[in-house]
Amino acid sequence: MQAFEAHATDSELDDLRARLDAARLPEAETVHRAAPDPRRWDQGVPLADLVDLVDHWRTGYDWRTFEARLDEIGQFRTTIDGLGIHFLHRRSARADATPLILTHGWPGSVAEFVDVVDELADPEDADAPAFHVVVPSLPGFGYSDKPATTGWGTEKIAAAWVELMGELGYGRFVAHGGDWGGVITTILGSRFPAHVLGIHTTLAQAPPGLSTDGLTPAEREWTEQTRHFWRHREAYAKQQATRPQTIGYSLVDSPVGLLAWILDKFAEWTDTEDSPFETISRDRILDDVTLYWLTRSGASAARIYYESHNSLDPDLRVDVPAAISIYPRDIEKCPRPWAQQRYRQIVRWQAPEAGGHFPSLEVPGYFVKDLQDGLAAVLGRRVG
């Protein structure tokens, strides 16, 4: 295990700016609507929005600020099963702190959690639980190594996280995740109950084949929204699950192509009326995209879909305590009666009034409090 510092060379940043200068853009979309109107995005990222963000990326954005923030939190690398794994590690000053691993998804990265780590480690409220926070980069993402062979799916990643926490001296810990991080967190709670005290997730996936009989009208609406998403809005997932290498050439070669591919999801999956920048700063989204660009991880990150899309064991059950929060604009929303078929000890269930797929970025204050309260319930139930 070694300390790690993020540092792009000046030539890498100059090359990025040169590519942005030389970008070839298509004509504007044929959907013409005045902002604010979410229908402006019906054909994807509007040209005007992309041009504005590319200009800011080229002339106003400062990558060095994000690099300094990562170093301030504390960065490390270790090798697990032959693969280099990068992670952030922020120890709490509190003697009663509990180890916590936070797992991001796609198109996220460790950038999802840089604004919440400090409050989780050393909360202003002395009565709130404190955590030793570990934030790993998924294999193929960011500063983690890119797998050279198949096999690094969610089951293997969950086992690697147990080994990582053990190397840090955390034999027992709690876990949180959303998106792919939610899948990995669910597997952690199921496969490793001797190490995982409990989990908090914003993604609850029910076992297949459950009936809508007995669900409330609101719960039925959740199932319809989720079904609509997977029928009509999952082209990106199908592409990355079947041909990640093909889309990967564009994602690694063109910063504008990478930006548009990722920005489209931030726009569609956030709880906003028109633009993701209503709740997430341009710079934070560019932190995420630039991390993908500098590490050339567009293709390798996409491969997690090839490895694990629709692969969650249908018989998997979670017996450790679980806290679940389903945000209103997330892409998958599982009713509690369905979730209870997989998560056998739901100690806290929340349906927040605001937020989408990236709550740690969209509503960071609420997210921290919800995570604190959820894990407090998890730990209380475990002790009891």
Chain centroid to Cα 183, Å, comes to 11
- pLDDT (0 to 100) of residue 35: 85
Helices (H), the chain: 10-21, 47-59, 63-73, 117-121, 154-167, 180-191, 217-232, 235-242, 244-253, 255-269, 282-294, 298-308, 336-339, 359-362, 364-383
Single-letter code of the amino acid located at 120: L
Rounded Cα gap, residues 129 and 25, in angstroms:
49
Under 8 Å between Cβ of 218 and 185:
no
Under 8 Å between Cβ of 121 and 129:
no
- pLDDT (0 to 100) of residue 33: 87
- pLDDT (0 to 100) of residue 187: 98
Predicted TM-score (pTM) of the model is 0.97
Q: In the beta sheet, which residues pair with residue 78?
A: 85
How do the pLDDT tens digits run along the chain, 384 residues long? Answer: 999 999 999 999 999 999 999 999 999 999 988 888 888 999 999 999 999 999 999 999 999 999 999 999 999 999 999 999 999 999 999 999 999 999 999 999 999 999 999 999 999 999 999 999 999 999 999 999 999 999 999 999 999 999 999 999 999 999 999 999 999 999 999 999 999 999 999 999 999 999 999 999 999 999 999 999 999 999 999 999 999 999 999 999 999 999 999 999 999 999 999 999 999 999 999 999 999 999 999 999 999 999 999 999 999 999 999 999 999 999 999 999 999 999 999 999 999 999 999 999 999 999 999 999 999 999 995 443
Under 8 Å between Cβ of 177 and 104:
yes
Type and span of the H or E element at 147: none
Type and span of the H or E element at 132: strand 131-136
CATH superfamily of 2-383: Alpha/Beta hydrolase fold, catalytic domain (3.40.50.1820)
- pLDDT (0 to 100) of residue 38: 84
**Residues in CB range of 184: below 8 A, 6 or more apart:** 103, 154, 157, 158, 161, 177
- pLDDT (0 to 100) of residue 381: 57
- pLDDT (0 to 100) of residue 382: 47
| Per-position b or e across 115-154, b if 16+ CB within 10 A of its CB | bbbbbbbbbeeeebbbbbbbbbbbbbbbbbbbbeeeebbb
Segments making up each domain of the chain, as ranges? 2-383
CA angle 216, 309, 105 (to 5 degrees): 80
- pLDDT (0 to 100) of residue 176: 99
Which of 107, 126, 177, 104 minimizes the C-alpha distance to 325? 177
CA atoms within a 13 Å half-sphere pointing along the CA-CB vector of 91 = 7
Residue 277: phi and psi, rounded to 5, are: -75, 0
**How many beta carbons lie within 10 A of that of residue 310, not counting itself?**
9
Angle between helices 255-269 and 244-253 (to 10 degrees): 110
Rounded Cα gap, residues 247 and 249, in angstroms:
6
Relative to beta strand 98-103, strand 2-3 is unpaired
Under 8 Å between Cβ of 199 and 184:
no
**How many beta carbons lie within 10 A of that of residue 99, not counting itself?**
21
Rounded Cα gap, residues 250 and 272, in angstroms:
28
Under 8 Å between Cβ of 344 and 186:
no
Rounded Cα gap, residues 39 and 361, in angstroms:
23
Phi-psi region of 172 (alpha: psi -120 to 50; beta: other; left: phi over 0): beta
